[in-house]
Amino acid sequence: MLRQVVEGVLAHESEFIESNAVVVQGEAGVLLIDAGITAEEMVAIADDLRTLGQPVVAGFATHPHWDHVLWNARLGEAPRYGTARCAADIRAFLSDEHWKEDIVEELPPEVDVPLELLGLITGLPAEATQIPWDGPKVRIIEHQAHAAGHAALLIEERRVLVAGDMLSDVLIPMLDLSAVDPIEDYLAALQLFEGGAGDVDVFIPGHGSVGGADQLRERIERDRAYVLALRADGVSSDPRIGPSAKPGWEWVSDVHNGQAQRLAERNERGSTG
Ligand SMILES: [Zn+2]
């Protein structure tokens, strides 16, 4: 199930929207980042880890969207961390009694997603700069872009960046349209990634293919071009949308049209006061 990305870092790509679950090997067990989507795959990851004799000793969710905060009982009861903002956001989401229906609406019926343990995230203190666990140092790079409390993680000694829902080759930048200035937030986050690119040999996006240092710079550029096009007039020739979208990913064009329209509406409201 799990395949090695570099020594000490394993990953599994889900059949559902190419979601990547990431495992970092530590002293007495592993850190599991964004555990996976279907019950079957999370059980398979748990079984792989059992075979390796490496229990999950900590979890981490890169951000408070449902596809990043799932869990399965077979993975055990380790603390599942997120940024303070991530934990607060998912807590608010779970306080709405209709949250399950909201998620089920988004799901294709054939995907078996266990919702029982969704979102049980322990917020780290706002000033935390690394994950508290017995393993290689994992630096938390929090930024405002795709979701409240979004965090990328840098496994420094492995030179691996876990990017959360940034830098995907299949998904366009999806802005946090609840933010005051989603465009500038996103550009600032890309700049943050660019500034740290020299410390990275391999990066793992939340969805899509793992890449090396060269691809990291390409994807930062592509995402920046997309966001700048959104800021300019909403017209983008990004290869992830339109006729060049990957088969099965045509819906990303709808995401693009939706956010371009909402931004245009915001600008309209802004300019008319
Ligand atoms: Zn996602």
How does pLDDT run across 114-128, given as a tens digit for each residue?
999 999 999 999 999
Mean pLDDT calculated for residue range 56-72: 97
Give the up-direction half-sphere exposure of residue 100: CA atoms within 13 A in the CB hemisphere: 7
**Ligand 1 center to residue 225 CA distance, Å?**
21
**Ligand 1 center to residue 273 CA distance, Å?**
34
Give the start-end residues of each E strand in the chain: 3-6, 9-13, 20-25, 30-33, 56-60, 80-82, 122-123, 138-142, 151-155, 160-164, 202-205, 211-212
Q: Quote the CA–CA distance of 178 and 168 in Å, as a whole number.
A: 21
Q: Quote the CA–CA distance of 12 and 271 in Å, as a whole number.
A: 46
**Ligand 1 center to residue 169 CA distance, Å?**
13
**Ligand 1 center to residue 60 CA distance, Å?**
14
Phi, psi of 164 (to 5 degrees): 60, -150
Sign of CA dihedral 197, 179, 101, 169: negative
Q: Provide the pLDDT for residue 272.
A: 55
Q: Quote the CA–CA distance of 88 and 121 in Å, as a whole number.
A: 9
Coil, helix or strand at residue 215: helix
Q: Own/partner pairs for 17-20, CB < 8 Å, 24+ apart?
A: 17/67, 17/170, 17/171, 17/207, 18/170, 18/207, 18/208, 18/209, 19/67, 19/206, 19/207, 20/204, 20/205, 20/206, 20/207, 20/208, 20/210
**Ligand 1 center to residue 222 CA distance, Å?**
19
In one letter, which amino acid is 111? V
**Ligand 1 center to residue 271 CA distance, Å?**
32
Residue 84 has pLDDT above 90, yes or no: yes
Q: Provide the pLDDT for residue 273.
A: 47
In one letter, which amino acid is 117? L
* pLDDT class of 108 with cuts at 50, 70, 90: confident
Task: Tell me the pTM.
Answer: 0.96
**Ligand 1 center to residue 165 CA distance, Å?**
5
* pLDDT class of 271 with cuts at 50, 70, 90: low
Using CA atoms in the order 248, 253, 258, 260, what is the torsion angle rounded to 10 degrees?
Answer: 150
Q: Provide the pLDDT for residue 270.
A: 76
**Ligand 1 center to residue 132 CA distance, Å?**
24
| Cβ 197 vs Cβ 220: under 8 Å | yes
Average pLDDT of the residues of the chain: 95
Coil, helix or strand at residue 203: strand
CA distances from 121 to 186, 241, 250 (A): 24, 33, 32
**Ligand 1 center to residue 67 CA distance, Å?**
5
**Ligand 1 center to residue 36 CA distance, Å?**
10
Mean pLDDT calculated for residue range 42-56: 97
Q: Provide the pLDDT for residue 7.
A: 97
* pLDDT class of 85 with cuts at 50, 70, 90: very high
**Ligand 1 center to residue 164 CA distance, Å?**
7
Residue 112 has pLDDT above 90, yes or no: no
The lowest-confidence range among 7-11, 66-70, 108-112, 259-263 is 108-112
Q: Quote the CA–CA distance of 8 and 145 in Å, as a whole number.
A: 29
* Helix (H), strand (E) counts: the chain: 6, 12
| Cβ 253 vs Cβ 245: under 8 Å | yes
Closest CA to 54 of 23, 79, 82: 23
Which tens digits make up the pLDDT trace of 142-168? 999 999 999 999 999 999 999 999 999
Q: Provide the pLDDT for residue 76.
A: 98
**Ligand 1 center to residue 62 CA distance, Å?**
9
Q: Which residues surround ligand 1, an ion (CB under 5 A)?
A: 67, 165, 206
